[in-house]
Structure formats: C-alpha cells, structure tokens
Amino acid sequence: MGSLNSYVLKRRMRKWWKYLVVLIFLLAVYFGGFLHISGNISTAPPSDLSRNTMKEVFALQRQIKLLKSVLKQYSIPEKEYSDVLLPVIYVITPTYTRPQQKAELTRLKSVFLHVPALHWIVVEDAPKKSQLVSNFLESSGLTYTHLHQSTPQEWKLKDSDPKWRKPRGVLQRNAGIRWLRSKFAHDASPRGVVYFADDDNTYSVELFHEMRDTHKVSVWPVALVGGVLVERPLVESNGQVSSWLAGWKADRPFAMDMAGFAVNLSLLLNKSGVEFSIDAPIGFQESVFLEKIITREELEPKADLCTKVYVWHTRTEQPDLKQEIRLNKVGKHTDEGIEL
C-alpha cells in the first residue's frame, strides 16, 4: 500500500509541478515586494501628505461600505451609483433663519448623501447668504448651489399666523428655477429631474430612486399633510391618475402637496416663463404651476402606483426658548461661541 501511495504521489507531482512553480514564483515576488515596501516604511518617516492620503483612502472605504449597505437595504441597483450618465436630480430647497434651521438641513443632508447624481440648490429667504448655511453646505460633501432671495415683508408669515395663511418659499423656488434656466441656457435638451424639497419634510432614499426616470411629471403620496394621514393620487387599472384622495378641496386640478411631484428638467425649461405664482389662491400653488406644463392624464404615478409613502410632511416642533430669553435679558447667551 505504501509503494502504491508513493507512485500515485509521484504521478500527481508530475501533473501539478508546473502550477507549483508558478505559485512559488508569485509568492516570492509578492513577499519580496512587501518586504521592500516595509523596509521603506520603516526607514522613511511618514510625511503629512502620506498620512492625509491614507486618511482619505480609509474614509472612502467607509463610504463605499456604507453605500453598499444602503443599496442592499433599499434594493437599489448598484449600477445606479456607477452610471456616469445618470440624470441629475436638482433639488430646490427654500430655507430661512430660525433656531432649528441647521437641524432641518442636517436631516436632509443625511438622506441626500445616499443619493447619487444629486445637485442641491439651497435658496435662503434673506437679503444675503448667511455664514451658517454657507459653512454647512461647504462641509456637507454634496454638490450644491447656494442662492438667496428675499420675500417682501408684507408676504411673510407672522409667528401667530397659521402656516396656510400666506404662500411660503415661492420666490425662493423661482430663484432656483431661474438658476437652472441660466445654467442650461445653451443646452437644447438637458437631462435631469427637478424636485422641490422643503426643509421641514422627511424624505426616504427610495423616493429619489423612484423619480429618477421622470419623463414629464411623476407623482406619489405624501403623508401627514392636509389634515389626513396620506394625501395621494388615485390610479386606475390602466396606470393613469383618475382623481385625488385629499381631505381639503379634492377637486383641485392637482390636489397634492409640493413634495408630491417631480418635473423633467427639459420639460420645465422648455416651458418658457413657467414659475410659481405668489398670487395663487391659498392651497393652489401646485395646481397653478402644474397646469402650465402638463395634464392629469400625462402624470406618471410612482411608488407602486401611489400605494407607498416615501415622504412625510413632518415639520419640527417650534422650540420653547423662554429660559433663553430670560438669560438674554441678563446678558447671558447659551449659544455664545457655538453654531447651532
């Protein structure tokens, strides 16, 4: 039996010796190179440049790992993150100075960082750009454009006014649209999608995956708005929007919230002069805008034929700052030297 095993072993050695030689050679080259690099590392002190490079590499590795987990969690095709020709989603967000402003913007940023090919257009309701928003966007890691556009004082809400009393964000959204018209003034057929995302809403990553292929105007449900749990388009078996399920004036031409639709960039820019109207009747901002560019029959229902919710009209509670006001009167400021 021993001689048989020896014979079999010799046959196998003759058969595989070439592969063993190649393997040994590769291992020698690898470990030789490794030892050479190790020797260089041990003899040469690392520079600040090499340290920074390694930090960037590790940071990128963490981001790749995080992105892959997000792709898996939300069932988003990985090719969407690697397609250099992916249509850009231009998100226009009006914002204004208030204690919770940075908190609101941070919530949006945390979602947008997971969305590929997204350009965030942030428009401040102010006579000039604030340092807080400038610093925030600069460190956000996002592709962005920072604009400002003041609302006349007579059109601004007072603290005691209900949210619906006067239109909000109208001039700021229009400033974002005008920026897009300027950017693509010499582009006959720009590719992209425009979405109006207020800074007091909550958005899911899936929403942006849904709107990516908008041909004209895509629509979906919005939760916690208009006095109901969900305000949504009703879709027929043929895939067309037939009407609206809404708690307030369901007979509006487009009975939905600003967060409930996205517009194809080329379509919007080809409709010369289309903007939001500050004179639109209360609750009809969306209808007045959309009537200029599309009909109900042309709408593209998303979110599984408008049966899933990917955006919530949450709004952050107004903070109680009575104690801060009391301290301010005696010269104390809890935010002194701190950016909220």
**Would you name the residues annotated as active-site residues?**
286
Residue found by looking up tokens 């001689």 in the block: 3
Nearest to 105 by CA among 70, 142, 76: 142
Q: Report d(CA 276, CA 278) in Å as an integer.
A: 7
Give the DSSP H or E segment for 301: strand 300-301
Positions of E strands within 87-227: 88-95, 118-124, 143-148, 192-196, 202-203, 217-219, 222-225
Q: What is the DSSP letter of 86?
A: P
CA 335 to chain centre: 29
Q: What angle do CA 322, 328, 333 make, to 5 degrees?
A: 100
Q: How far apart are the first and last CA of the chain?
A: 82
Q: For the chain, what is the total number of helices (H) and then of strands (E)? A: 11, 12
Positions of E strands within 156-299: 192-196, 202-203, 217-219, 222-225, 228-235, 241-245, 261-264
Q: How many CB atoms lie within 10 A of CB 230?
A: 18
Q: What angle do CA 266, 269, 271 make, to 5 degrees?
A: 110
